[in-house]
Each structure stands twice: as C-alpha cells, then as structure tokens.
Structure 1
C-alpha cells in the first residue's frame, strides 16, 4: 500500500471538470424502445387480473401467477428506473418529468392489480400453501416471500375489517402530507443578517448550511431565529404528530399486536430486543458522548459549549480530491474485503455507472439505484472534491457492491435487501476509508481532521438517531396509555431528553429551552420506527470493521455472506448468524470502543501540541 502525504490545496480554483455521465442506453437504447415497452407492460399489468381468485387452485397455478407477477414487476422496474434517472439529470426538462410520472402511474396500477395476492394467500391458508411449496420446485424462488406473507396470518382480519383499514389509508397519510406541505411551502421562514452583512432567508437548507458557520455569533443568530419560527407552529405540528401516532396505535391494536413498536418491527421481523437494547446501550454510553462534547469545547477554544456549537467542523481542511484519486482511495480502502471484492469494485468504477458532477437542474444529494435486476447499479453524485464527497462516493459504492453481490447470488425475487443490512454495508466502507487514511503519513492537523470527522459521524449517526428513536418510542407509549400529545407536552419531553443526552445537568453543554421545539422539524417521526436503523447500522459496521481490521479470519467471509444473501432471509437473522447480533451489547460496545480510541488519539495530539 503506497504512502500518501496529504497537503492543503492553494491557489485559484480549477475549472469545472467535464461532466461524467452514466450510460442509460444500457437500459433502453432509445426513447422509442422505452415507449414500446411501456405499451407492452400496460397490457401485461392488466393481464394479471386473470389470476385473481385462483391462487388456491393448485401449485401449478400459484407458480404461474407468481412468475407472471414477478416477471412483470422486474420489467416494470426497469422502465421506471430509466425514467427516474433520466429525469434527475435535469429536473427542468418537462418531457423527462412526464415520463417519470407515467412510470409512477404504471407502478401504481401494478400495485393495485396485484393487491389481491396477500389477502388471497392468507385466505387459502398456510397449510395448503405450504403443501404447494413442498410439491412444486418452480415455487422455490418465491418461497421466502410467500412465507413472509403467511407469517402475518395471526394479524390478518376479516375481509370486512381489512377493507375498513385499507379505506383509512389516505386519512392515515394525512399528517405526513400536512407536515410536508406546511414546512416546505406554507411556513414563513425568517431572514437574518450575518456578520458579513449578507441577508439569508433561513429555510431548512439554509439552516443546515449556516448552523455550521465558523462564526459563533452567526450560529446563535441562526438558531435563535430559526427555532423561534418553528415555535409558532408547535401547537399545529403537535396535533399532526398526535394524529399520526394514534393511527399507528389504532392499527396495531386492530391487528392484535402488543404495541405500535411490535407492529412496526413485525414487518421486517426485527426482534423488539434490538430496539430496546439499542436505546439502553446509548444511554449506558452517554459518558463517552459527554467526553466528546468536552473535547469539542477544548478544540473550539470555548469557555462553555452551547447547543449551537455542535455543528462546525473541529478542524477545517482545504484538501481537494480529484475524482480519479478518490476512486483509487476507495479501491485501496476496500483491501480488507479481499481481492475478489477489490477487483470487482475496480472494474465497476471504470464503467459508466455514475453521474458525477453538479450541474444546473440536476437532482441534489447522492444515491445508488440498483433496482434494474439484469443491469448494473447507477449512482448519482454531486461531487465537488471535498472529503465529504469522497466519503459519499465510498458510501454509495458500498451500496452498489452490495447490490452487485446480491444479484449474483439471488433470483430477482430475493435480490433486494432491507435497510437493516443496506446501511451496514455502506457505513463499513466509510469506516474502512477512515482507517485507510489514518494509516497514511499525515500531519497532526490532517490527522485531527479525519479523527474529528469520524467522531462527528458517531455523534450524528448513533447518538442523535437513538435520541430520536427514544423520543419516538416515548410518544407511542404515551398514546398507548391514553394520553393526548400536544406541542407543549412534546417540547417538554424533548427538552428533557436533549438535556440528558447532552449532559446539560452535569455542566457539559448549556441548552437553551427555546430550541426544544426541534422535534417539530424532524421528518423521521413520520416514518414509523425507521430512524433507529441508522444507529444499528453504524454499530454493526463498527463491529464488522473491528473484526476485518483485527485479524478475525472469518470476518471477510461473514461480511461478504451478508451482502450476497440479499433479501433471501430476514436482515436481523442474516447479521446475527454472521456474528453481528444487534439484540446484544457487543456491536454498540464496539462502536463506542472505537469512539474512545479516537478521542484518546486526539487528546494525545492536543497534549503534544500544548507542550
């Protein structure tokens, strides 16, 4: 492995590089081909109705029906992905947006056309269906998904009751839609004047940018103005969350689950012990988080740390990473995953899989879209050459390699994987990147930059997300006890939680109660026990990385086995069977052990500099 000495880049900014684009012709070679396929798929979707009411006829009929459904879905996804990616190249092109809309409508038609499958299988009953699965080899590719449907049999109601619950779907989505509309278009955002004289309208994007300002007075201005605006809507947003949570409780009770948490975790078949162990572990490790805050205060040179001081980077870096260098670093960082993985990654990076640089009209952010089964994944980046961009590239390629390996091992029906394992793959790659860079010949400042970035990732991805998960659980438990949620009550509970996580009562961080309306800003609370998976993922990734880098002879095979398994098993069980049991303390202890080692190294560097 070559030594890499990092240096700051100075001088005039380079000219914008030529755009590097994915090759969508590998999906459809022309728009005419896309339109022709769309017409065929419209007919195929309508034809699926012939199987309604017939799934219990015989094993052969069930096999024919499921083959037709999955085959149609596979081709329909291909149609949609092409339109989705093309539209994201330039969202100003109305024709491309219309094609994406057409694809969305056809997907909705497919979902409606196949909505009979689950209730019909449940009516036929597990005894009959299991007999079909045993007798018909052609059903093997469908067996996991069919059994996953049958698993819900104890929580399936009468046809009449199911129709009532289905009829409430639009109403149950109402709170999320109200939240989205209010906070994206109707809510008036404040304007602040920064120390530079610049006037900034503090919408959500501007808040995300300016809360990390290097100017402390500007950070305070941003926090004060932004949260004052949200406080004016706390009562309204409290009611939307109250309605949203009560809808979860209503459906959970109707379906005979023990709680809303039980119902939410039943879908991906995640044991409740995972959620509760996660929350307990985070609380047990709060002293390490408080140590980080004290270290942050020291590095920022502050007499006291306040809530608006947690976002600016600990050490600034002006280093630039050209794309080719970032690719080389990504390949080198993946070395612990073995020669086969590295070769596959290198070959993929050389292909036309990415749309790389920002351009006018392009979708923001970054993602990997790997849903085309008989094709490679596609990655959208907005690469600017900063370290965060390298991290994003490595993260998204972690998803891409997961997708490639899962497709190699699985038929279409079980190639897709759950969020619970998806983020483990991407974050493991991030940790390997961090460790690879820290193994190079670095100056103290460069080392502090990478170490500080690693620490902030743990704070934001683990502790902050667990804090949200604990708040979400508390909301549902209050509703299950018959209590109404209000903006005032939610603000009070959120303030107490933030103060505990941030050590405010121990003098670690001064917290202003005016900021406690932050709960109203968090969109994850409308996703029904989803956010906790970010925290489990970074913990699982930390344990995998520890094993990979620590000489565990089975670690590589275990890691790759999880990726290759795709969706052929339940995500929790796939990880557990390969040594990552997220219902135990081990992954969380590994993550915090890494956090403490990083802080040890930072403190050692700071102590040497102070001598």
Structure 2
C-alpha cells in the first residue's frame, strides 16, 4: 500500500454548544420553561394588542381611565420584553440555529406592533391640559406611581409628534432596526477569519472571542498575524459594512430631524436629559490629557524593547515574566473577594448569580461575541460571556455582574415603570466593580512584577474605557455631522477619518498600521447611537465612587447601594449626585485622569 503523509494537526476549533457542561450555561427556563411557554405568551401579547384600540381616546376623561391605560401599557410592555429577550438570547446561544432566528424575527416584529399600537399614548397624554393631569394626580392615589413618568413626557413635549405621526414612526421601527440586524448577522454569523499558527506552531482559528487573547501573546509574530487576519477579513466586507453604517447614521439623523432636534446627538442626549455640554466637556477634557496617553505609549514601547510600537503591540502585557491564567472557578473567588467592601448582602447576591444559572460562560460555534448583562423584570439578570481564562475575562465577569446586581437591586426595589435605568448610569455599577477588584488585587500582591502587571492592566482599562471610548464618541459625532451636512460615508472617507483620529489619540510614538483604519467596521456599538461616551463618563464617576467606598466605608456604601436600588426613578445626573458625584462638572473626569497620571508614574518607576 502507498505511504501517506502524516495528517497535519487539526486547528483548535471552537466547540459546539452541546459539548459544554450544563453548569456553564445560563438557565433561560427561569424565564420560560420551554419554547411552548414562549409561544403562549407570544399569543397572549397578540390578544392584548386588540385591547389597546378600546383604550385610545379615553385618557383625558378621568384619572381612573388614565391610570387604567398606563397600567395596561405596563402589562403588555412587560410581556413583550419577556418574549423579545428570551428569543434573542436563545438566538445568541448559536446564531446559526434557524428556529431561533425565526423566533427572534417574530419577537421583533411583534415588538414593533406593540410600539405601534401604543403609539397613541404619549400624544394623547400631551393633549390633556397640564392642570388637568395635576388634578388627576391629586385625586387618584394609584396614579401617583406614574408622576415621574408623566413629568418626563411633559418635559419632552415639543419633540412629541401627533398621534398619527407617532404611529407611522412606530411602524417604521422594524425597518429602522435593519442596519443593526444586518451588521449583527455579518459580524456574528457570516464573517469568517482564517487560522494562524500559535506560539507552539499549531493552527488556531482566529475568532472575535480569541482575538484579544491572541493580541496579549508574548510572541509578536502571533500578535501580528492575528491583527492582520482579523482586519483583512473586515476589509473584504468594507463596502457592505460602510453602507450598513451609513444607513444606521442616516436613520439617527432622520429621527433627530422629525423630532425637531438641532442634531441627532442632541436627540440622543435628551433621552437622558443630558446637556450637549456634558458630551463636549468629555472630549475636550480628554484632549487635555492626551500627553499622558502619549507618555504611556512611550513607556510601553520602551518596556517592550521595540524600535517601533505597532497597534498590535498595545494589548500584550509589558511585564513579561508574569503569567496570569485564571480558570473560571478561580475568577469567581477573586471577584467575590474583591467586592467585599460592598458588604455581605452584595457578596451573597453575587454568589446567587454564580450558582443559580445566571451566566453563560464559554464560547461556542455561532455564539454572539463579546459579553453583556441582560434580562427582563421577571427573569434573573443573565450574563453572556466568552470566557478565555485571561485576567481580562476576570474583569469582564466583575463588570457584567456589576450590571446584573444593579438590575437585581432595581427590579426588586422599584415598581416596573422605574426598574429600568438609563445607559448613562449603567456603566457606573460595572466599573465600580472593576475598580474595587483592581484595588484588592493590588493590595494583596507583594510581588513587584505582579504589581507592575496589574498596574499595566489598570492603565489598559483607562485606555480602553476612557480614551478609546471617547475616541469612538468623537468619531460618532463627526460621522453624524457629515451626514447632517449631506456628505456620504464611503469606506475611504471612514477609513481616512478613523486613521487621523487614531493618530491623534495615540500620538507620535505609535506606528500606525494601515489595517487599524478598518477598526470602525467591527464596533457593534456604533449601531446604538451615542452610547459609547457613557462608558467614559461612567468610568469617571465609578473611579470617584470606588475611592469614596474604600475611604469612607459604610456611609459611601449606603449611598451607593441606594443609588443601585433607585433604578430609573430619577434623572441620571440627579441619581449620581445622590451617590456622591456631579457629572455636570468636569471634576470627576479630571479626578479619574489624575489617577491615570499617577498609574503611569508608578509604572515608570517600577520598570
């Protein structure tokens, strides 16, 4: 018989979901026992929709009618949230499964129907004289539940359209979601990355889940190859993704215009009752501290012993002889220890999340990339991870559990209308967790190298969450302004501007790789307009709060837990003021960036 060449070792493939142990998967049956229970609620929502027709036109007749309408709205909204969230999370488990693609599409379609059917509500409330609404609130005790909700509607009165126009906008909701959904399918289902050789010379498939870990490699060839593999894959899709982003921005501009805002940015900010000054202050203040970023980049270049620092050299630890592989079970212990300053109740809730099926831990084929915390008023606050045993993943766990416990506190304390909190405050709880975990790890190490390694990681959190997200925010502002001026967002224009911005934020010590100009093409948050700046403001607020918690102890912890419990029962700025930070000033941003300066100085001395 002829001799055969020995078979090449198979590339490390991402495992199929069925191969993962059940204890590492979330338990969505806590929301719906099975798909049949989901179908039942789907049908119930369809039936409830018929009732909305009977309510329209009666809101101003009496306090009882107004209360009944608002109570009905809550009932149907709560159910459609359950329906939508379950279907989307089942799809996120494996985006290739047709059944859950269909359920997710059906749920989104029904969600738009609900919005359309209830679109009469706000215009009709606005047609009731304010004095009459005040009188209704005085005479009907249960209606007082909705006082803040009604005040919020009246605040935005000039931007609410007629009943008929609101209905048309609501019906267009499914079309408006198209750019985000198309990008999600490109990014999570269709795009394929090549394999590269890892440090051992074995073939490994590049995935979005593995990408950061590959960039953290001490082998520069691995970092270079992973970087090229990722961005060359996006480059092949640049025309499609540019068109998708272009129409997402056009959608934002359209909604801003029809709601009579001066810009899409101001329309977005007004949802949180945030002034334009807060957004602009962030960008301007970060610009002041860019020399500190350049100093950190220079330190990184020196510590790595490189003649030229490339974009793919930004993630690898600059302390080489520390290997921090953290298995998932160890991560659970580290996070629990790090969050002890938040008190026994907080830590016991954390354990509940760890042991009761809140978390979907490992990457599998077709699973949505990245990490998030989600869920409904009636479900646990679920967490999606793609855990890869890195220190970065430990912080991601702490981060997402911060969101989840914020949600848990809000949902168990607030009534349904106020359990959801605004994104502006959402990133505070997640980042307080990260900051406390970091302080605990720094306190417990006496090893100079481990300390330097952790300081490097802390600086990377600042770079990724404050500087990089502000760069994204500046990019978003500019691309929306270009569309508002009637300019086209071609791949060439997007790449050119993104490249300029990248150079501005990283400075003269970085060697700008052409591929980084494509980074805009892989950022899902750009399809949720003007979201990313809240990471930076949230981080600044969180650094301040974490320092108060560690320095003051119990009084600061009480203020903070009260803030978590308040959910969305007040405006974000007021909620944060109650917790102990004032985001109408630049003080929290300056305060956070001074911590960044100190970290750079300490790391310079250690290295």
TM-score under structure 2 length normalisation: 0.84
* 1:164-203 aligned within 5 A: 175-176=179-180, 179=183
Q: CA deviation at 1:155?
A: 1.7
Equivalent residues in 2 for 1:399-418, closer than 5 Å: 399-418=403-422
- Find out whether 1:429 has 2:436 as its counterpart: no
SS, match of residue 23 in structure 2: coil
Q: Match for residue 340 of structure 2? A: 335
Match of 1:74 among 78, 93, 96: 78
Which has the larger displacement, 535-544 or 234-243?
Answer: 234-243
**In structure 2, C-alpha distance between the alignment counterparts of 1:201 and 1:163, rounded to whole Å:** 47
Distance, in Å, in 1 between the alignment partners of 2:36 and 2:164 is: 45
1:38 to 1:223, Cα distance in 2 relative to 1, 3 A: closer
Equivalent-residue separation in structure 1 for 2:489 and 2:349 (angstroms): 51
Q: Report the 3-state secondary structure (helix = DSSP H, G, I; strand = E; otherwise coil) of the residue aligned with 1:19.
A: helix
Q: Is the 8 A contact 1:234 1:488 kept in 2?
A: no
1:345 to 334, 342, 350: 350
Residue aligning to 1:276: 280
**Displacement, 1:138?**
1.4
* Residue 469 (structure 1) aligned to one of 470, 473, 493: 473
SS in 1 for 2:383: strand
* Alpha-carbon contact 1:262-1:272 (below 8 Å) kept: yes
* Contact 2:465–2:536 under 8 Å retained in 1: yes
Task: Write the distance in 1 (CA, Å) between the matches of 2:86 and 2:349.
Answer: 24
The answer to whether the aligner puts 1:286 opposite 2:308 as a matched pair is no
Instruction: Indicate which of 121, 128, 139 corresponds to 2:143.
Output: 139
Alignment of structure 1 residues 209-358 onto 2, 5 Å: 210-223=214-227, 227=231, 241-315=245-319, 317-321=322-326, 323-357=328-362
Q: CA deviation at 1:457?
A: 1.2
What residue in structure 2 maps to residue 538 of structure 1? 539
Aligned mates of 1:135, 1:304 — CA distance in 2: 72
Q: Deviations over 1:2-40 (max 9, x none)?
A: xxxxxxxxxxxxx99773555555445566655555544
Counterpart Cα distance in 1 of 2:516 and 2:91:
38
Kept in 2: contact 1:19–1:357 (CA 8 A): no
Give the length in aligned residue pairs.
Answer: 588
Query: Structure 1 residue 55 and structure 2 residue 59: aligned?
Result: yes
Q: Secondary structure at the match of 2:373?
A: strand
Name the counterpart of 1:113: 117
Alignment check: 8 A CA contact 2:112 2:173 kept:
no
Aligned residue number for residue 4 of structure 1: none
Q: Secondary structure at the match of 1:550?
A: helix
Which deviates further from its counterpart, 79-88 or 395-404? 79-88
The 8 Å contact of residues 236 and 487 in structure 1, kept in 2 or not, is answered as no
Worse-matched range after superposition: 563-572 or 179-188: 179-188
Offset of residue 534 of structure 1: 1.3
- Residue 410 of structure 1 and its aligned partner are, at CA, apart by 0.9
Are positions 1:571 and 2:572 aligned together? yes
Distance 1:18 1:29, change over 3 A: closer
Return the offset for 1:395: 1.7
Structure-2 change in CA distance of 1:266 and 1:449 (3 Å): same
CA distance in 1, matches of 2:573, 2:306: 43
Partner of residue 372 from structure 1, selected from 367, 374, 377: 377
The alignment's C-alpha RMSD in Å is 3.7
Q: Which moved more, 1:233-242 or 1:557-566?
A: 233-242
Sort the Cα spacing of 1:570 and 1:524 in 2 relative to 1 into closer, same or farther, 3 A.
same
| Equivalent residue number for residue 503 of structure 2 | 499
Q: Distance in 2 between matches of 1:357 and 1:90?
A: 12
Provide the C-alpha distance between the structure 1 equivalents of 2:108 and 2:240, rounded to a whole number of angstroms: 32
Q: Which digits, 9 at most, give the CA deviation of each residue in 1:311-360, with x for residues without a partner?
A: 22334654454555433332322222234433443455454444445567
Distance 2:25 2:484 in 1: 51
Tell me, in whole angstroms, the C-alpha distance in 2 between the residues paired with 1:547 and 1:136.
41
Runs of 5+ unmatched residues, structure 2: 1-18
Structure 1 unaligned blocks of 5 or more:
1-14, 607-611
1:553-564 counterparts in 2 under 5 A? 554-564=555-565
Deviation at 1:496, TM superposition (A): 2.3
CA distance in 1, matches of 2:183, 2:20: 38
For residues 29 and 248 of structure 2, what CA distance do their matches in structure 1 show? 43
State the secondary structure of the residue aligned to 2:511: coil
Instruction: Tell me: CA distance 1:127–1:257, structure 2 relative to 1, closer, same or farther (3 Å).
Output: farther
Which of 116-125 and 36-45 deviates more? 36-45
Q: Distance in 1 between matches of 2:67 and 2:556?
A: 38
Structure 1 pair 518–99 and aligned structure 2 pair: CA distance change class (3 A): closer
What's the offset of the Cα at 1:436? 0.6
Query: Which deviates further from its counterpart, 272-281 or 508-517?
Result: 508-517
Deviation, structure 1 residue 117: 1.5
**Secondary structure at the residue paired with 2:584?**
coil
CA 1:479–1:183 in 2, change beyond 3 Å: closer, same or farther?
A: same
**Does the 8 Å CA contact 1:19/1:356 hold for their aligned counterparts?**
no
Structure 1 residues 29 and 474 mapped into 2: Cα distance closer, same or farther (>3 Å)? closer
- TM-score, length-scaled by structure 1: 0.84
Q: How far apart in 2 are the matches of 1:361 and 1:138?
A: 47
Q: Per the alignment, in what secondary structure is the counterpart of residue 214 of structure 1?
A: coil
Q: Is the 8 A contact 1:546 1:590 kept in 2?
A: no
Report the CA distance shift for 1:336/1:226 in structure 2 as closer, same or farther (over 3 A): closer
Aligned CA distance change for structure 1 residues 493 and 382 (closer, same or farther; 3 Å): closer
